[in-house]
Amino acid sequence: MMGTALPTAGSLAHVMRRSTTFLGLFGVLAAAGTLTSCATFNRNDTAAEVNGHTLSNQQLNTLVNHETDPTTIRKRLSSWIQIASAAENPTTVHSMDELATLRDKVLADLIAKHGGAGQAQYEKAIDGTNYICLGAIPLAADVKADDVIAQLKGGTAFAELAKKYSTSTTLAASSGVIADQNGADCFDPATFESNFGGILKALADAKAKVGFPVAIDSGDGTGAMVILYMRPFAELSLQDQATIESSTIGAALKDLYAKAVITVNSNIGVWDPATGSVLAPEAG
């Protein structure tokens, strides 16, 4: 297979050094100032209430793992309020793992109901995608890219092939997913180009499409190849899918937030709609 040479600026070592900060979808939308109620109460048994669903002080204590730091308590309570405001029927949670499960259910429901446009845009790949979510497998010089690609097309998971063939221990450990130092693994094209200069051109030259691997010369002079793989939408995390669908999901979330009725125990803090967070009592 003839490969397009990968520019030096876009080498895998360069990719793994760069860092970009991405905010979670819930946090961004909560900060938009659309959660309306800022009432407080002083019931000793309840930490907060959202649309009639309560979180007891005991449940909050479990959520924070019995931490006593007020900032930690308010941060965890803010997370519960944001997620409970968007959930159709928020389940009782007793741990951060259960809260994460509830968050994922909310995102999955929103994607199922309101998604589609973002995915269609994403699948335009180099021809107009809003996000680049890339996988890579740098191969040893004696490994034929055609053989690895044939295995991928035959049904072997990209993650499995990355663990088997990647010469980068970092990429092998991440199942071939390229991520920055903050864990972000989907990037808008401008940020991707700024951080990983040259790879977009290499993908364009190879006429890369989402879900179809291409082989790129590593540029190290050995003839070794790098398989680049624009990851299919279905293989992305719920958080990444929600970010890609954020234009429609964001509107749905804002509508849910605007209708939410939120009260917070005044001993803990004051709900601030402008930031989507619980502030210290004196800040209210």
Domains of the chain in start order, with CATH, are: 4-24+129-238 (3.10.50.40), 31-115+245-283 (no CATH)
Secondary structure (DSSP) of 246-262: HHHHHHHHHHHHHH--E
Contact at 8 Å (CB) between 131 and 187?
A: yes
- Rounded mean pLDDT, 162-189: 92
Give the mean pLDDT of 162-177: 95
pLDDT band at 26 (very low <50, low <70, confident <90, very high): low
CA distances (Å), origin 60, targets 26, 184, 271, 276, 283 = 19, 29, 16, 18, 21
Q: Which amino acid is at 42?
A: N
Q: Can you name the residues that pair with 39 across neighbouring β-strands?
A: 263
- Split at pLDDT 50, 70, 90, the class of 257 is confident
Model pLDDT, residue 195: 78
More confident residue, 275 or 157: 157
| CA pair distance 6, 216, nearest whole angstrom | 6
Instruction: Give the confidence band of 247 by pLDDT, cuts at 50, 70, 90.
Output: confident
C-alpha 79/C-alpha 81 separation (Å) is 5
Kindly list the distances between the CA atom of residue 65 and the CA atoms of 23, 60, 95, in Å, as whole numbers in the listed order: 24, 8, 8
Residue spans of alpha helices (H) in 69-187: 70-86, 96-114, 117-122, 145-153, 158-165, 169-173
pLDDT at position 17: 32
Within 10 Å of residue 197's Cβ, how many Cβ atoms? Answer: 16
8 Å CB contact between 122 and 211: no
Question: According to the model, what pLDDT value does residue 14 have?
Answer: 38
Paired tokens of 49: 């209430």
Angle at 106 between CA 102 and CA 110, to 5 degrees: 170
Residues contacting residue 157 through CB under 8 Å, at least 6 positions apart: none
pLDDT band for position 192 (cuts 50, 70, 90): confident
Among the residue ranges 24-33, 61-70, 115-124, 265-274, the one predicted with the least confidence is 24-33
CA-CA distance, 117 to 29, in Å (whole number)?
19
**Rg, Å, the chain Cα set:** 22
Across 217-236, average pLDDT: 93
**Residue 65 tokens, joined:** 């793992």
The mean pLDDT of 157-179, rounded to a whole number, is: 95
